[in-house]
Amino acid sequence: MIVVKSQRELDKMRRAGEVVAKIHHKLAQIIRPGITTRELDRIAEEIIRKEGAIPSFKGFPCAYGGIDFPGSICTSINNQVIHGIPGDTVLSEGDIISIDAGAILDGYHGDAARTYPVGKISDEAQKLITVTEEAFRRGMACAVEGNRIVDISTAIQEYVESQGYSVVRDFVGHGIGTQMHEEPQIPNYRTRERGPRILNGMTLAIEPMVNIGTWQVRILSDNWTVVTADGKLSAHHENTIAVTPDGPEILTRLY
Ligand code: MG
């Protein structure tokens, strides 16, 4: 069932979204060579708690039989696609790191991911980040009443592939609200099913995961970290958005 949100609910989701945006605002300033992913996680959790929110990801059950997710954010470096676990890893000059953050405030979730450069990065890595951000924007532009979910998926896939990159198939975007993952699923590639019609009041987490090489991925033995099958770079860009009569609105932003 797809939950269409009321104005009151959208207001709550804007507030949850702002908590997530504050995390990214802070992490963007402190990501640099020498910092550990554990330190980034600590700072993110501090912001979430200070805002009176709860980390959505901490304690999330593992789909593959591993431990519950131990961090408040996912930290995925270079060839890691998503779900990297914060820990002792030290960031190095030239890395790229995807940070996915989620928070629950007053019963509603916000969810957003960005890929950040660590120091000076290669032109190739920078292009990957830029393409992934643009893929998100092109997908979001299709999130208008009357379209179908497949229109979002198609816009993302066509743009990414036009740039010579590939979209991950095994993980998809999603509806979001009182649950972090609600219907509908939002693949980043065109599927045979066209998906439901898009309605005003829907809240969606649109999140292209873009690989430089093959779209295929595998999961490390920690049962969480998803990496590219060919070891090449991957980037991730996600926002929680609302479908409104005035067009798509990003909820995971600073107000
Ligand atoms: Mg998400």
Give me the CATH number covering residue 58.
Answer: 3.90.230.10
- The answer to whether residue 1 is domain-embedded is no
Please report the pLDDT score of residue 174 as a whole number: 98
Cα 175 to averaged position of ligand 1 atoms, centre (Å):
9
DSSP codes of every residue in 186-243: E-SS--SS--PBP-TT-EEEE--EEESS-S-EEE-TTS--EEETT---EEE-BEEEEE
User: Which residues surround the ion ligand 1 when the cut-off is CB under 5 Å?
Assistant: 111, 205
Please report the pLDDT score of residue 175 as a whole number: 98
Structural domains counted in the chain: 1
- The answer to whether residue 126 is domain-embedded is yes
Looking at residue 67, its amino acid is I
Backbone angles phi, psi at 137, to 5 degrees: -60, -40
Please report the pLDDT score of residue 142 as a whole number: 98
Backbone angles phi, psi at 183, to 5 degrees: -70, 155
Q: Give the predicted TM-score (pTM) of the model.
A: 0.97
Q: How far apart are CA 251 and CA 10, in angstroms?
A: 9
Tokens of 19: 């908590």
Backbone angles phi, psi at 12, to 5 degrees: -65, -35
Please report the pLDDT score of residue 116 as a whole number: 98
Cα 199 to averaged position of ligand 1 atoms, centre (Å):
20
Residues in the chain: 255
For the chain, what percentages of helix, strand and coil (3-state, to nearest 5) are there?
A: 30, 30, 45
- The answer to whether residue 2 is domain-embedded is no
- The answer to whether residue 146 is domain-embedded is yes
Please report the pLDDT score of residue 122 as a whole number: 98
Cα 180 to averaged position of ligand 1 atoms, centre (Å):
7
Cα 174 to averaged position of ligand 1 atoms, centre (Å):
6
Instruction: Note the pLDDT tens digit of each residue in 180-200.
Output: 999 999 999 999 988 899 999
- The answer to whether residue 255 is domain-embedded is no
- The answer to whether residue 135 is domain-embedded is yes
Cα 133 to averaged position of ligand 1 atoms, centre (Å):
15
Find the domain containing 119 and state its range.
7-250
The yes-or-no verdict on residue 1 having pLDDT over 90 is: no
- The answer to whether residue 43 is domain-embedded is yes
- The answer to whether residue 142 is domain-embedded is yes
Cα 176 to averaged position of ligand 1 atoms, centre (Å):
8
Instruction: Note the pLDDT tens digit of each residue in 119-171.
Output: 999 999 999 999 999 999 999 999 999 999 999 999 999 999 999 999 999 99
Please report the pLDDT score of residue 249 as a whole number: 98
Burial class (CB in 10 A: 0-12, 13-18, 19+), 111: buried
Instruction: Note the pLDDT tens digit of each residue in 45-100.
Output: 999 999 999 999 999 999 999 999 999 999 999 999 999 999 999 999 999 999 99
